[in-house]
Structure 1
Amino acid sequence: MRIVSQEWKLSLTILVLALLSCTPFSSAVSRKTNKNINTNVFMSPKIELSPGSVSNKLYFDVDFPRGHISLKSFNAELVDDAGNSIPLSQTYLHHWIFLRYHQPKNVTHNSQSGITFVRNSGFCQENVFGQYFGLGSETRGTNTYIPDPYGIEVGNPSEIPKGYVEKWMFNIHAIDTRGVEDKLGCIECKCDLYNVTKDEDGVALSPNYKGGLQCCPDNSKCKMLKGFLGKKRSIYLKYTVMWMTWESFIVPAKIYIIDATDVLKISHNSKGKSLEHDCKIEYEVEPCSKSNVNGSDCVDVKRSSFPMQKGGYFIYGVGHMHVGSIGTTLYGKDGKVICSSIPIYGNRSEAGNEKGYVVGMSTCYPQLGSIKIHDGETLTLEAKYNNTIRHSGVMGLFYFLVAEKLPHHHL
């Protein structure tokens, strides 16, 4: 039974949907960090990976703080059986994403029956990039804390339909790169390395599709070095949530996730003009001319512009990019820079500082009330990659928070 559209599945990179209905989710830690803020640490079900293999599954009804709350930060990483951080050079975390949904009460655990997704405020079509939280290899080195007095409001009883409950689900896309022939090619999901020529419906992929999400589905395997032997290992997604009970003084912040591949279409109907977004999710970075390979011209630039129909005060921003990225910038009216997010590359071997990998993204925390996006203001997102070599399946996303009002004492 299909519960989501083709585009929605691609945005989650779920080519084969598999649920683990018998594995319980358990909280490892629950403590108060100060008078108001709680910190909860959770562990996913066990994920088993052999060298070169891929895990890409959806997990429904996962452990998450309940009630009417304000989310303050969300962090995650891959760990082993002993709780030790796993380096990206061994298991690459392509992405993890958390999604919010409503479901009728008294349904069985992990059931898909009656699900209604509650997406963020972003622009992409249908439920593409509708998640509330999510990062990739940059997870450990990216700040996600939402400054006071702002918070992301969830669990408001007035917003949950009668007879329904609010739940959370997540997707983890992890690739075991131990012993693979080409690490960069495997983490970019090059089709030839995975020996994939058809999509999940059995339709032949375009010869122009060199790599990306469709070429490393769940249970696929990347090409290995001849003679390499390695044992299966167990990994877990460890995720840490900071939250507090919702109070009247908290100012709600809306989540926007935008895509540099978004193509905006304007259509006219009986109700007037309407805007249709077409986010492509990923794209191919073609290599530059050999004559420029050592010059400064080997930069691929992807841009997309769109109006922000309902504005507000910009309070936080961060990009999501892959290996080869240079940075992403969000511009406002007349080319005003709202935020630039730059990748941080590792230079050693330990988890969190793996050489050659994107291990963090810089974030923007402007002074309270200093950046306002006006109703109808056109925003432009620009993503840059170094293209001395080809990069497949890259992303140019930008995640930001907007508050429609300032705290009372600033009005």
Structure 2
Amino acid sequence: MRILVIGRGGREHAIIWALSKSPKAEKIYCAPGNGGIAELAECVPIQENQFEEISQFACDNSIDLVVVGPEDPLADGIVDFLEAKQIPVYGPRSNAAIIEGSKVFTKNLMKKYGIPTAAYESFERYEDALAYVRQMGAPIVIKADGLAAGKGVVVAQTLEEAEKALKDIMLDKIFGESNVVVEEFLQGQEMSLLSFVDGNVVRPMVPSQDHKPVFDNDKGPNTGGMGTYSPVPHIPQSIVDEAIRTIVKPTAEAMVKEGRPFRGVLYAGLMLTAQGPKTIEFNARFGDPETQVILPRLETDLLDIFLATINGRLEEMDIQWSDQAAVCVVLASPGYPGNYPKGLQIDGLRDVKDAIVFHAGTSAKDGQIVTNGGRVLGVVGLGSGIAEARAQAYAGADVIQFEGKHNRTDIANKALV
């Protein structure tokens, strides 16, 4: 089969890495790809939002399946566009991708169907939101309504932080979206639970845990994710099963009832509170960097899962997972998640022996791999347990060098306590 993957990050590199293991994968393309993806797939200079060009490329190159990685083209309707042209595509249509594209929609959906989540109010006017925040006090959570590349959430520990977040989002429009959701602050362990979904059919993946803040001990501003690990040994399977039963399956069923059947990867970001699992957010695609630790544990052919989903046969799939642990350490550019330089030479990539390196923000220039994003690389170690996997990931991360490189040093520590 000839496959076209849409995207340019570490998630897409991991997807392509998994697809390349399938005996059915004859040729893989990626639009636009990155410096590392180019070693496994032919990268083509088409941007994620160029639907007409993607469609034309798929037709001209006899593409059998398009796989969409990022959230923006999903929300903008790339699946609808390609399906209208009879091009097989994996991912949710835009009316289902709204579960990530609008936090107001998703909170209202959960309220309607009794799906556990934080108490909230949504606001269109800055003055109303400000008055509510001052009434409720801190800590409190401020969320931009629309897509914000994983950075549209501020967990404000003080009233000053909350007021600044409201100003940034609603007045300064730093995400181009002025509406907000204001939520109660939940305490507990976080967990990412991704599932392959086709309407009412839900096939959960192995759980993982992300590290959002940029610095050790969860300090500093939120990022797209500074590292992940899977499994999450300190969270019992009974809690995972409860989350599937009370959150993931009811949400998939609710989307069907709303006339928005979800087909693709449904990502549930969860908080495990004293009252049980509650929903922080939903995403309409593979997480980044969760994908980098989940797919290395997948023993079933990923291409078979994609094909079963779009052919309505996901219920027949017996999906198998490895008992191995996986830990991903993200190497970031200097200044990230703020402004950062590009074009810094990366050394040591060929010297990494016992880890997988997924490229996130890289490009090839004059025969060298250079930085081209905030999160540059994800270094993944595998092992019989978290400790071994963690050691492999950090050993690999230490070998790679570029000017101003920074990473958290405490990824997966919570699993070792």
TM-score (ref. length: structure 2): 0.23
Higher helix share: 2
- The structure that is strand-richer by fraction is 1
Q: Between the two structures, name the one with larger relative contact order (CA 8 Å, sep ≥ 6).
A: 1
